[in-house]
Amino acid sequence: MAAPPPWLADIQLITFDCFGTLLNWRAALEQVEIRSREDFEQFERESLRMQEADNWVRYTEVLKSAISKTKPNLRPAIIGLFADDFGRMAAFPDSARALAVLRDAVKVGVLSNCDANHQLDVISTLRVPWDVCITSQEIRAYKPSDRAWDAMVRIGIARSAATRDAWLHVSAFARYDLLPAKARGLKTCHVQRPGGDERPAADLAVASLDELVEQVLAAKQGPLLYEVESTCADASVAERLRAWLQAEQLPALRRIPGVRGAQLVEREDGVLVEQYVFGGRHEYQNYVASYAAEHRAAVRDVFERSVDRQVRVSVIRARA
């Protein structure tokens, strides 16, 4: 693998186009007899015509109309079922596993031309809770229009607290995603997919999402697991410490940029273990420089010397 670009270490949010990038919609359209290149081009023309019309309609209606005009002899019941269940199509083999690993390193999201119910089905298919999810139904506009992209970027920044230069958008398509995202100051990544564009200009190009994961983790040198073991000789102190950690310390860590997880576990020997996941080494070093001393002092102020605390840091999931 080639060395990842240096800017990848600073990425805090990765969003994806959904249909055609995470889910295989070209294969799914075969269910409604759209198989040939000519069929797909006609379907796309009909879809764009409705998406660009002045009177906005839900994507379910876009699908029904585009399919019925492409395949006029197809039964309406079949078309309607396909449009309603559009989010249930099969994902590409690397999509779910890549998202599962990336969630430990960055916030993940989706920017999609679809209805809200379609994304609920996508979440079930990919087994991922999005940190940022923006659909065309929410903004009442479709990519690649300026109206849609301006709204998606504005909402994405507000929901993720990520700056534009710390945001990477991933897609197989230039016109719908990569070009408008790049024009708005986002980093872009092209992933090869059936029916996608052939390596358009992007900040990063990968053959698969597995390769993207390797690049992200290599750049971030993470994720990192930061563990703090607390031993108390007095059982009553241990109980107070447990309550304090859950009420004060863990919430404080969760608010720190780059912390992807925080939990408290208790071993059989009674040792309390705080486990914090940082997206990468840069995020961990930022914590050490800006917050760690304050948090250590807070424990000392409350419990003085009645608690013995040991710290260790390790890289987790170094490879996808």
What is the distance in angstroms between the CA of the first residue and the CA of the last residue of the chain? 13
Residues 170 and 240 in one domain: no
User: What's the mean pLDDT in 313-320?
Assistant: 70
Domain contains 309: yes
Q: Do residue 160 and residue 194 come from a single domain?
A: yes
Q: Is 316 exposed, middle or buried (0-12, 13-18, 19+ CB in 10 A)?
A: middle
List, for residues 147-159, the tens digit of each pLDDT value: 999 999 999 999 9
Q: Mean pLDDT for the chain?
A: 93
CATH number at residue 282: 3.30.70.100
Residue 320 included in any domain: no
- Of 192, 219, 246, which residue sits at a domain end? 219
- Per the domain annotation, does 1 fall within a domain? no
Taking alpha carbons only, the member of 14, 169, 192, 208 closest to residue 104 is 14
Please tell me whether residues 214 and 246 are part of one structural domain: no
- Report the domain count for the chain: 2
Indicate whether 39 and 170 sit together in one domain: yes
Residue where one domain finishes, among candidates 196, 219, 242: 219
Buried b vs exposed e over 139-163: b needs ≥16 C-beta within 10 Å?
bebbbbeeebbebbbebbbebbebe
151 touches 166 (CB < 8 A): no
CA distances to 208, 253, 264, 293 from 247, rounded to whole Å, are 42, 11, 11, 19
User: What pLDDT, on a 0 to 100 scale, did the predictor assign at position 201?
Assistant: 84
Q: Is the pLDDT of residue 319 over 70?
A: no
The fraction of the chain above a pLDDT of 70, given in percent, is 98
- If asked whether residues 164 and 241 sit together in one domain, one would say no
Is residue 2 one of the residues assigned to a domain?
no
Shared-domain flag, residues 139 and 186 = yes
* CATH number reported for the structural domain that contains residue 178 in this entry: 3.40.50.1000
CA 312 to each of CA 127, 214, 276, 278, 298: distance values in angstroms, whole numbers, following the listed order: 30, 24, 11, 13, 19
Is the predicted pLDDT of residue 1 greater than 70, yes or no? no
Angstrom distances, CA of residue 27 to CA of 32, 84, 86, 122, 261? 10, 17, 12, 16, 36
Q: Please indicate, yes or no, whether residues 300 and 156 belong to a single structural domain of this protein.
A: no
Residue 220 contacts residue 280 (beta carbons within 8 Å): yes
* pLDDT(214) > 90: yes
Instruction: Report the distance separating Cα 261 and Cα 105, nearest Å.
Output: 10
Domain-located, residue 156: yes
195 and 86 within one domain:
yes
| Mean pLDDT of the region 301-316 | 88
Same domain membership, residue 129 and residue 88? yes
Q: Which of 219, 248, 264 is the last residue of a domain?
A: 219
| Shared-domain flag, residues 211 and 68 | yes
Q: Are residues 200 and 245 in the same domain?
A: no
More reliable by pLDDT, 70 or 198: 70
Segment 41-66, tens digit of pLDDT: 999 999 999 999 889 999 999 999 99
Same domain assignment for residues 193 and 84 = yes
Domain residues for the domain of 266 are 224-315
**Residue 247 in domain:** yes
| Within-domain flag for 228 | yes
Residue 171: which of 161, 182, 163 has the closest Cα? 182
Domain-embedded: residue 185: yes
Find out whether 17 and 177 touch, Cβ atoms under 8 Å.
yes
Per residue in 232-263, pLDDT (tens digit) is 888 888 899 999 999 999 999 999 989 999 99
